[in-house]
Structure 1
Amino acid sequence: MEDGGPKRSGARRRGGWRVAWAFAALLTACAPRGAPEPVVPPPPRLSVAQVTRLIPSHVKEREGWARDVLAALEAEDVPASPVAVCSVLAIIEQESGFHADPAVPGLPRLVRARLEEHANTLGPLGRKALASVLAGKAPGHKRTFDERLKTLRTERDLDRLFRDMLAYYERAYPATFATMDLASTLFSSRSLADLNPVTTAGSMQVSVRYALEKEGEDADPVKVREALYTREGGVRFGTSRLLGFEAAYPQPLFRFADYNAGVYASRNAALQAQVSQLTRLPLVLDGDLQLYDKNGEPRSEDSKSLKALLVFRQRHAPELSERQVRRDVGKEKEEGFETTDTFRAVKRVYANETGESPAYAQLPQVTLESPKLKGERTTAWFARSVDARYQKCQARHRAEQAK
């Protein structure tokens, strides 16, 4: 569901996932001084059969899903613990109900509305150009683009339709229209990408942009998108998006929020809340300390959160320079942000001023905007909904262990 915001790749470190050991580490830290450190065993690794039994019984091809989840965890060097497995399964269930290429309700209406809205901005000729292209056919297809549009069901259907329309325009346009500039505006590859109302794909609804970034600059966009529509590819990219970064979250709930709002959004939202309390400046706790464009690049103007951090510097941490604060904030989507002077200063001053231990994370306040959603939804709603599924998965695991 996350898309259109800042780049969410985040810094990641191979070799394990801290959440699985968080509780064990807490027990170790609380042991009496001088006492021998308890041996903390690694979390159990689940087998294909065990993961299969954690998937709801109504799901088709449960063993296939289980194998793909385990393969994705292995690719990310994340142990297949009950915590990790149930986290992935909960996202799959929430986002697609275990469908590799889920149907999107009302997809034909959504797409037509976007196309017509764009065509209307070009005047009467825009409508004419749109109607002409929709009347065309892709090689090997008996149905027109308009007929195919009316029967769209899934994201893959839509993606292939857009690609065929673009290919048709590039081949047939000069003989169809009189004004080259008009069709270039209406059916350029960039324009078609912008008009596509669905920007997340697959069983875990991964941002297509994230998948392309993960595959690298030389990745073939068509192959990446087609991979997302498969069960294996959707789970692989989604698992990377969920677990491919380190964070000291006390519970998976915050990682679920990050899956929706962006890497480290929960950690950064807690920092925003603390800065707001210290400066008495109201802030939207969305987890973004900077402003970003639609491609995820930082914008030049200062966000309210950054301005508040600069006020915090003046009032509470004059040893920090403005340049230092700006440089540190540039690391907000990295694990290393926690080691910056700015991050540490906020936590230290908050503890001194309030007498309270500063929270590491809190749920971000983000209102979701997507043509797939009915009614208003928030990141907190998403995280809690996923967490409810996660808790049921954990209960199934405990029940299996009790047998």
Structure 2
Amino acid sequence: MNDDGRHTPRSSREAPAPAARTGTGGGSRAWRGLRVLLPVLLTACATQGPPRPAHDAVAVRAEIARRMPATTADRTGWAGDIQIAFDAQRIEPNAENICAVLAVIEQESGYRADPVVAGLPAIARREIDRRASALHVPKRLVDAALAIRSTDGRTYAQRLRGARTERELSEIYEDMIGRVPLGKRLFADMNPVQTAGPMQVSIAFAEAHARGYPYPVEGSIRREAFSRRGGLYFGIAHLLGYETPYTRKLHRFADYNAGWYASRNAAFQNAAGLASGIELALDGDLLRPGARLDEPGQTERAVRALGASLGMDDRAIRNALARGDRLEFDDTDLYVKVFALAEVRARTPLPRALVPGIRLESPKITRDLTTAWFATRVNDRYQRCMRR
């Protein structure tokens, strides 16, 4: 069984667990043939029976509300926004998917649409001072810029001291970037607040996946992401809006923190390290961003060391690794052959998903936290929800 059992085109069946795909040659070609044929067979089967009835929105909302913690305020409102997001994205509202979403909400915000961040004014000022120092901007100029009156009549310094949520801080930054010359210099036209809403979704992700958004956009997608409805819609898209090869929700939760397919890619790095004898960081990043062909990163260098055994040159290896942000990477010759070589050396089957070993870094984080910590905490909440 896959990790969520979705069934519609955008968020349908997860691919079968890749642990079964350890062979090479004909086995790999047979699997690819099955991947092509399977949608046809499913379509044919679907047309032979009665059409599947649409989900009753009222019943779905009631089920979502029932699975929320008993202390949640406005359960009806939360359930309604989640149900609309599921319906708009054609995500199956089964218990697994409902609980996955509720677990992330509980972990990231405790069911607060615009959560308060402890010590936010100090965090914001440290970030401004850090950027100013990196640009060799004197502190007196920073203080002078913050003493300017903002659009609401208060100085920027006063607004910073009163900021309690990321939405408030984002609005201050947007105002500074648009009105204060030093603001443009410090932030390079980029708002440093990059997560938003009750699921702390990436604003860049929201802006890249705004097509199909079911609500009128009030101001901007950034502003929508700070709302409950927008934060839930884009957070659910990030969590459930892509197919994976996983058999456990734990790895999807790790991906939510580290990026799509990070758990699959970390398992591939583990196999590449075993096959090549080169120790690799299992961070899920297969390619160094923007690297030229003659500037391979750590993982790419390890895989290139296997080039003769793989029967692949540097260009072919680069092209395959470039698919690491897609499900289809599983079906590349590179993926199949690297695991085959690694399993011969290890003399045992290897996992096809591993939680990436990433230390979390953010001005808001004051402890040593990791992706494994995040995924485990969310998974614990998910299990409690499933028992509810």
Per the TM superposition, whether the score is higher than 0.5 is yes
Matches of 1:360 and 1:213, distance apart in 2: 28
Matches of 2:250 and 2:357, distance apart in 1: 14
1:131 counterpart letter in structure 2: D
Shift of 1:372: 1.5
Q: Which of 260, 279, 296 is residue 302 of structure 1 equivalent to? A: 296
Matches of 2:129 and 2:245, distance apart in 1: 47
Task: Name the counterpart of 1:283.
Answer: 280
Task: Name the counterpart of 1:133.
Answer: 145
Alignment of 1:150-299 (within 5 A): 150-169=161-180, 183=181, 186-188=182-184, 191=187, 193-194=189-190, 196=192, 198-215=193-210, 223-292=220-289, 298-299=290-291
CA pair 20-153 structure 1, distance change in 2 beyond 3 A: farther
CA pair 118-373 structure 1, distance change in 2 beyond 3 A: closer
CA pair 243-321 structure 1, distance change in 2 beyond 3 A: same
Matches of 2:353 and 2:134, distance apart in 1: 44
Matches of 1:147 and 1:80, distance apart in 2: 45
CA pair 275-231 structure 1, distance change in 2 beyond 3 A: same
SS of 2:220's equivalent? helix
Which range is displaced more, 356-365 or 334-343? 356-365
> What CA RMSD, in Å, does the superposition of the two structures yield over aligned residues?
2.7
Task: Name the counterpart of 2:20.
Answer: none
1:301-351 deviation digits (Å, cap 9, x = unpaired) = 31111001111223x32x222221111001110111111110111122233
1:82 counterpart letter in structure 2: A
1:145 counterpart letter in structure 2: Y
Q: Which of 102, 125, 131 is residue 89 of structure 1 equivalent to? A: 102
1:288 counterpart letter in structure 2: D
Task: Name the counterpart of 1:75.
Answer: 88
Matches of 1:17 and 1:118, distance apart in 2: 44
Matches of 1:330 and 1:290, distance apart in 2: 7
Fraction of identical pairs, as percent: 35
Task: Name the counterpart of 1:335.
Answer: 327
Q: Which of 47, 50, 55 is residue 60 of structure 2 equivalent to? A: 47
Shift of 1:126: 3.5
1:232-289 deviation digits (Å, cap 9, x = unpaired) = 1000000000111101201100000000011100001111111111111100000111
User: Does structure 1 retain, via aligned residues, the 8 Å contact 2:15–2:243?
Assistant: no
Matches of 1:221 and 1:331, distance apart in 2: 35
Shift of 1:121: 4.9
User: Does structure 1 retain, via aligned residues, the 8 Å contact 2:217–2:224?
Assistant: no
Shift of 1:116: 2.3
CA pair 19-251 structure 1, distance change in 2 beyond 3 A: farther
1:322 aligns with 2:322: no
1:60 aligns with 2:73: yes
Task: Name the counterpart of 2:34.
Answer: none
Which range is displaced more, 362-371 or 345-354? 345-354
1:5-28 deviation digits (Å, cap 9, x = unpaired) = xxxxxxxx9344335998xxxxxx
Alignment of 1:376-395 (within 5 A): 376-395=368-387
1:199 counterpart letter in structure 2: Q
Shift of 1:373: 1.6
User: Does structure 2 retain, via aligned residues, the 8 Å contact 1:134–1:146?
Assistant: yes
Structure 1's unaligned 5+ residue stretches are: 1-12, 23-38, 170-182, 293-297, 397-403
CA pair 122-288 structure 1, distance change in 2 beyond 3 A: closer
Shift of 1:215: 2.4
Q: Which of 130, 139, 142 is residue 117 of structure 1 equivalent to? A: 130
User: Does structure 1 retain, via aligned residues, the 8 Å contact 2:201–2:238?
Assistant: yes
Q: Which of 159, 173, 193 is residue 148 of structure 1 equivalent to? A: 159
Matches of 1:351 and 1:117, distance apart in 2: 47
SS of 1:256's equivalent? helix
